[in-house]
Amino acid sequence: MSTMSYKGFHARIEFDDSDEIFTGRITGIQDIIGFHGDSVATLKAAFHEAVDDYLETCAKIGKTPQKPYSGKVMFRVDPEIHRKAVIAAELTGKSLNQWAEEVLSNAVNLDNFAEEQLSA
Residue spans per domain, the chain: 2-66, 69-120
Please state the separation of Cα 37 from the chain's center in Å. 20
pLDDT at residue 34 above 90? yes
- For 22, phi and psi rounded to 5 degrees? -90, 135
* Tens digits of residue pLDDT in 35-87: 999 999 999 999 999 999 999 999 999 998 886 577 788 889 999 999 999 99
Average pLDDT, the chain: 87
Cut 0.75: pTM above it:
no
Would you place residue 25 in the very low, low, confident or very high pLDDT band (cuts 50, 70, 90)? very high
Q: What is d(CA 31, CA 106) in angstroms, rounded to the nearest whole number?
A: 27
Residue 1: pLDDT band with limits 50, 70, 90: low
Residue 107's pLDDT band (boundaries 50, 70, 90)?
Answer: confident
CA neighbours within 13 Å on the CB side: how many for 6?
Answer: 20
pLDDT at residue number 15: 93
